[in-house]
Amino acid sequence: NRLLPKSWRSTVVTIPVIRLHGTIMPGGGQFRPSLSLASTAGLLEKLFSFDAPAVAISINSPGGSPVQSRLIFRRIRDLASEKN
The domain that holds 20 is classified in CATH as: 3.90.226.10
- What is the pLDDT, as a whole number, of residue 64? 92
The model's pTM is 0.80
Domain annotation covers residue 1: no
Tell me which residue range forms the domain holding 48.
12-83
Distance CA 69, CA 50 (A): 24
Q: Please report the pLDDT score of residue 20 as a whole number.
A: 94
Residue 55 lies in a domain: yes
CA dihedral 53, 18, 63, 28 (to 10 degrees): -140
DSSP string, 51-66: --S--EEEEE---B-H
Provide the pLDDT for residue 36. Answer: 94
pLDDT for the residue 4: 74
Regions in the chain scoring below 50 on pLDDT: none
Q: How far apart are CA 16 and CA 47, in angstroms?
A: 6
